[in-house]
Amino acid sequence: MYAPDRDQDLRWIQRAIDLAALCPPAAGAYSVGAVIVGEDGTELAAGYSRATGPREHAEEVALAQLPPNDPRLAGATIYSTLEPCSQRSASHTPCAQRILEAGIPRVVIAWREPTLFVDDCVGYEQLVEAGVTVVELPELTAAAKAANAHLGDLA
């Protein structure tokens, strides 16, 4: 499994934050960026919310760029500016579940999901319970929130 040092985690989460800034603002949705990095430290895929449609999440967009059985996912890390969602409408698989199905063993986030749209996001907990290593970088929470200024005060 890819186990980067803190500087590499910070660099990749910054790339995800830069992607989040590309999101078209939406009144009912967060602007999130995500990057999947292979075990060798190279970018495998990247995405941001609403990049390919009005309801797509960043992790969903990034994962869609790779075959579901891509062997590189078994050693990859996904960097996301926001905790992967644990619930969505019936027609969309939550991002935490997508990450588990893809077999990605490590997730790095900048920000836990606040209660603005979902009262109790448990994506972080679901991933940890399934054996995924989850790293939170709270020093970048403010930068991740900045892409969501369209939603008002999220603190």
Query: Which residue spans within 8-152 are E strands per DSSP?
Result: 33-37, 43-48, 77-80, 106-109, 133-136
β-strands 133-136, 33-37 pairing: unpaired
Active site residue 113: no
d(CA 25, CA 42): 29
Please tell me which residue in 59, 60, 83, 113 is annotated as part of the active site. Answer: 59
Catalogue the active-site residues.
59
